[in-house]
Amino acid sequence: MLQSSHRSSRHAISLAVLVLLSACGGASDGVTDITPVSVAPSAPADQGAPDTAPVPAVAAFVDTAASNQRGDARYATLPTNAGVRVLGGFLDVWKPLTEIVDADASAPAVDGFPAVVKSTWTGVPNDGTNGGTIVNATVHNANIDYVVKATTGRTAEQGVMAYLDDRRNKGYSVTEGMGPLTTAWRSASRATTTINGVPADATTVKYDDGGNNNGVGGDANADFGKVVDFVNSMGGNGSTEPAKRFYKYARPYRWSSAVAVLPQLVPAKSPTPVSDGGFPSGHAAEATRNAVGMAYVLPERYQELVGRGLELGESRILAGMHSPMDVIGGRVQAQAVAAANIIAANATTRAAAVSQAHTTLMKLTNTTAATFPAYAVSGTAPNDHFADYATSRANYIRRLTYGLPQIGATNAPAVVPKGAEVLLETRLPYLSDAQRRVVLKTTAIASGYPVLDDPEGWGRLNLFAAADGYGSFTGNVVVNMDAGKGGFNAVDRWRNDIAGSGKLVKQGSGTLKLGGKNSWTGGTQVEGGVLEALSGTAFGNGDVYVAAGATLASSAPTALTLGGNYAQLDKSTLDITLGADNAGTLNVKGTATLAGGTLRLKFAGGFKPSVGASYQVMTAGARKGVFTGVTVDGYKASLQYSGTGVSVHIDG
């Protein structure tokens, strides 16, 4: 990297630039003013208090998780059982024979609560008995029809996954979401399975995995026991049985003979339908609980792991064992259960598990704190089938609703459950709890889908999107990242399309990269560290202001468009990675004011500049002021100015 030949004398600078302008044909508008700006412009106007996501004024799952029990008369109804209550929206689709936890279940009277008597529900729909009432036939029919189409169109590959996800322990299966870290995780946790393939015929089916699910915990595993214990703890108060025995909704193959259950799993059908309800799916719930626990201690694979949890749920549909509503219910309940258990683990236990996971996995993969994040996402297909971000995102969104029809208002404001912010604690460690709640609020899915409009908000959470940061800015959104803490505190990337009228203020020494189709209007203020553009609309439609000591970077694959004005103060840096077709350059719609600062130019892979050529790096409606200097990797260079832009001349 070589410093430009600018002189300390303002007069010398003017002469040098005028000569360059003459040699290169001058500015297109004939303007050659390179007078430094004496007074820097002001930062974008403050937009007021940031958005909030107040805790809903309803009973909180995280406070009442221990009520998710069966065989106890105190917790036999929707109001008294948290695991049943969080899925209460299912009553808009299906009304069970009795609204009590009583399918093949009884309990004595206690503390003034009446005894629970076994229901007469048989578990078989359409058998001539009063087995319950379909409240919304459109949703119910779509739910069962989805399974018919999925199972009759099932591919051989889907059949293999459906079998393995049915028979193997769920924790072991979820580790497939770790991509390049799968082998290291299984080695460290000592997780095992005895289900390694699909039998040729049903007579040789092995119905029980003799492995150890999540591995060996406690002191018996000095290097990884705390991690295994933490993941195991996600199952606390997590049974789906109370909800199954309350809602009394049959499995899809009992609703329709057109459902093609995977042949190797036909012998696994329960002979006792009354104790084998379909809603919610226990497999899907357990997979999601494990996935959330693993994602918490290994946030470098956050989206891939929560995606694997939902994928295992879909395997239950492809197997013919569950319907979309079943696996949706399992996911919703499991997210609430996982949050409750993470909170119960306390901060010290959580931190110890996170630390042990990283220390051991870095040792096994021969990586460091600096190289581990990149290694964690370095996998490629087919070994890492979550390697393609766009595909993983699309699959996650699809599996949130399975395209079931909306039956309620589609524009209701999102609410965020009490304690849900803990689910993002390690993925967005530089945000406050209040900010994480707003992230969950601004990335929630639309309202109106069956089951998902629970009063607390668990159903509308989109953890995949939340891991990509805010979905909208309101007021002043201050992001302060401390690079000294490492991990995501040092470098992070947000890929959501951020809207809103708010203003982003980037503080601290860390680097935040933005890659969405962003449209927020309140402006961008970079006060510390690096704010980097990965897309051509990364900084929205407002003004952009770079304070002393801060860096604005652009490595966008196209020109970076700034919708308002641009201001750069002295002792700041504009860092451009130039590529073909003006990639990385700045296109300022308003006025670009350069009150000093450094321009640093790098070149994208495959792009090689020519000595003697000039490259325009900034265009603007108008340009005022000059940079203090320019540095170009591997070359000597000087600056050229026009009334509407800046170019870099490669001197040698």
Instruction: Give yes or no for residue 22 having a pLDDT over 50.
Output: no
Q: What pLDDT, on the 0 to 100 scale, is given for residue 386? A: 97
Kindly report the backbone phi and psi dihedral angles of residue 633, in degrees, each rounded to the nearest multiple of 5, phi listed first.
-60, 115
Q: Do residues 463 and 400 make contact, with C-beta atoms less than 8 angstroms apart?
A: no
Instruction: Give yes or no for residue 3 having a pLDDT over 60.
Output: no
The DSSP symbol for 404 reads: P
pLDDT digit string, tens, across residues 264-320 = 999 889 999 999 999 999 999 999 999 999 999 999 999 999 999 999 999 999 999
Q: How many CB atoms neighbour CB 263 within 10 A?
A: 14
Instruction: Give yes or no for residue 345 having a pLDDT over 90.
Output: yes
Confidence of residue 205 (pLDDT cuts 50, 70, 90): low
Q: Across the chain, which distance is largest between two alpha carbons, in Å?
A: 98
Residues near 407 by beta carbon (within 8 Å), at least 6 away in sequence = 92, 93, 136, 138, 139, 448, 449, 450
Instruction: Give yes or no for residue 13 having a pLDDT over 90.
Output: no
Q: Do residues 546 and 523 make contact, with C-beta atoms less than 8 angstroms apart?
A: no
Instruction: Give yes or no for residue 55 having a pLDDT over 90.
Output: yes
Give the C-alpha separation, 140 to 404, whole Å.
Answer: 9
**By three-state DSSP, how is residue 245 classified?**
helix
**Identity of the residue numbered 94:** W
Instruction: Give yes or no for residue 204 having a pLDDT over 70.
Output: no
- For the four alpha carbons of 154, 335, 454 and 441, in that order, the dihedral sign comes to negative
Residues near 547 by beta carbon (within 8 Å), at least 6 away in sequence = 43, 525, 526, 527, 528, 569, 572
Residue position matching structure tokens 């059908």: 269
Read off the pTM.
0.94
Exposure string of 601-623, with b = 16+ CB inside 10 Å and e = fewer, is bbbeeeeebeeeebbbbbbbeeb
Q: What pLDDT, on the 0 to 100 scale, is given for residue 7? A: 31
Return the axis-axis angle of helices 282-297 and 225-232, rounded to nearest 10°: 140
Q: What pLDDT, on the 0 to 100 scale, is given for residue 203? A: 62
Q: What is the mean pLDDT of the chain?
A: 93
- For the four alpha carbons of 286, 287, 292 and 293, in that order, the dihedral sign comes to positive
Residue position matching structure tokens 């007579």: 203
Q: What pLDDT, on the 0 to 100 scale, is given for residue 35? A: 84
User: What tokens were used for 204?
Assistant: 């040789």
Q: How many CB atoms neighbour CB 410 within 10 A?
A: 10
Give the C-alpha separation, 62 to 33, whole Å.
Answer: 64
Rounded (5°) CA angle 137-141-142 = 120
**Identity of the residue numbered 83:** G
Instruction: Give yes or no for residue 23 having a pLDDT over 60.
Output: no
Q: Do residues 308 and 176 make contact, with C-beta atoms less than 8 angstroms apart?
A: yes
Give the C-alpha separation, 69 to 64, whole Å.
Answer: 11
Q: What pLDDT, on the 0 to 100 scale, is given for residue 40? A: 84
pLDDT digit string, tens, across residues 389-413 = 999 999 999 999 999 999 999 999 9
Could you give the count of Cα atoms lying within 13 Å of 483 in the half-sphere of its Cβ?
13
Exposure string of 157-167, with b = 16+ CB inside 10 Å and e = fewer, is ebbebbbbbbb
Cis peptide before 280 (omega within 30 of 0): yes
**By three-state DSSP, how is residue 511 classified?**
strand
Q: How many CB atoms neighbour CB 545 within 10 A?
A: 27
Confidence of residue 4 (pLDDT cuts 50, 70, 90): very low
pLDDT digit string, tens, across residues 369-395 = 999 999 999 999 999 999 999 999 999
The distance of Cα 440 from the centroid of its chain, to the nearest Å, equals 10
Give the C-alpha separation, 609 to 578, whole Å.
Answer: 9
Residues near 219 by beta carbon (within 8 Å), at least 6 away in sequence = 225
Q: What pLDDT, on the 0 to 100 scale, is given for residue 126? A: 75
Which stretches does DSSP call E strand in 482-571?
491-494, 499-500, 503-508, 511-514, 524-526, 530-533, 544-546, 551-554, 560-562, 566-569
Q: What pLDDT, on the 0 to 100 scale, is given for residue 494? A: 98
Q: How many CB atoms neighbour CB 359 within 10 A?
A: 14
List the one residue out of 68, 102, 70, 98 whose CA is nearest residue 85.
Answer: 68
pLDDT digit string, tens, across residues 408-457 = 999 999 999 999 999 999 999 999 999 999 999 999 999 999 999 999 99
pLDDT digit string, tens, across residues 632-652 = 989 999 999 999 999 999 999
Which part of the chain is CATH 1.20.144.10? 61-442
List the one residue out of 120, 142, 140 whose CA is nearest residue 131.
Answer: 120
Residues near 525 by beta carbon (within 8 Å), at least 6 away in sequence = 43, 44, 503, 504, 505, 506, 545, 547
Q: What pLDDT, on the 0 to 100 scale, is given for residue 32? A: 58
Which stretches does DSSP call E strand in 408-562?
472-473, 476-481, 491-494, 499-500, 503-508, 511-514, 524-526, 530-533, 544-546, 551-554, 560-562
Listed in sequence order, the DSSP H helices in 345-461 are 346-365, 372-376, 389-401, 433-442
Q: Region 531-539: what's the mean pLDDT?
A: 98
User: What tokens were used for 451?
Assistant: 């089951």
Confidence of residue 130 (pLDDT cuts 50, 70, 90): low
pLDDT digit string, tens, across residues 222-260 = 999 999 999 999 999 999 999 999 999 999 999 999 999
Q: Following DSSP, what letter does each residue of 277-313 receive, concatenated? A: --SS-HHHHHHHHHHHHHHHH-GGGHHHHHHHHHHHH
Is 151 exposed, middle or buried, given 0-12, 13-18 or 19+ CB atoms closer than 10 A?
Answer: buried
Instruction: Give yes or no for residue 1 having a pLDDT over 60.
Output: no
Q: Region 88-112: what's the mean pLDDT?
A: 97
Options 1.10.287.3510, 3.30.160.20, 1.20.144.10, 1.10.3720.10; which CATH number does 61-442 get? 1.20.144.10
Cis peptide before 382 (omega within 30 of 0): yes
Residue position matching structure tokens 């639309």: 446
Q: What pLDDT, on the 0 to 100 scale, is given for residue 6? A: 36
List the one residue out of 596, 622, 476 whose CA is nearest residue 542.
Answer: 476
Q: Do residues 177 and 298 make contact, with C-beta atoms less than 8 angstroms apart?
A: no
Give the C-alpha separation, 325 to 138, whole Å.
Answer: 13
Give the C-alpha separation, 54 to 414, whole Å.
Answer: 11
